[in-house]
Every structure is written in C-alpha cells, then in structure tokens.
Amino acid sequence: MHARNEKRGPTTPLSLSKLQNKRKFHPKSDLAEANSPLMLHSMASTTTEYQKELLEAKYRTWLAENELARYKEVFAFLELERELAS
C-alpha cells in the first residue's frame, strides 16, 4: 500500500490547456538589445569612428603642443636678445 501512494499523481488540479499554452510577453531589457548582433555591429562601427576622431584630436593636440614649444623658444630667445641689447 505504501508503494501505491508514491505512484499517485499530483493532488492539485491542472489548469486549463489554453492557459498553459499562453506566452507571456515581456519588454526586452536594454542589455538584451545591446547584445544583439545588429547593435554590436553598429557599436563597432561607432567605436571605430570614435577611435578615428580621437586619434585625429590627439594628433592635432600634439601639433599644437609642438608649435607652442617652438613659440616659447622663440619668445625666450627674443627676450634674451632684448636683454643683451640694452
């Protein structure tokens, strides 16, 4: 008799089959959209564009720093020349 009790099915009634087959729709999270292949490709091209712009900005900064250093040298030379002339 003990073995018969173990083979019994669940005591709670099953819900209607229509309710069991319903899909629950949830809005996608931002993380799911960000990990989509289309978004990753878009992010990669944006990152590449950003890296190009960053590289160009760093190059322009380097040029400006070199030009500033050259002007400082010229200014120091002209100051020294003026001091020696007086």
Cβ neighbors of 43 (< 8 A, separation 6 or more) are 34
User: What is the CA angle 57-76-70, rounded to 5?
Assistant: 25
Domain around 71: 55-85
Q: How many domains does the chain divide into?
A: 1
Average pLDDT in the chain: 77
In a domain, 2, yes or no: no
Q: pLDDT, tens digit, for every residue of 2-11?
A: 555 566 666 6
In a domain, 62, yes or no: yes
In a domain, 60, yes or no: yes
Query: What pTM was computed for the model?
Result: 0.45
Which residue has better confidence, 36 or 84? Answer: 84
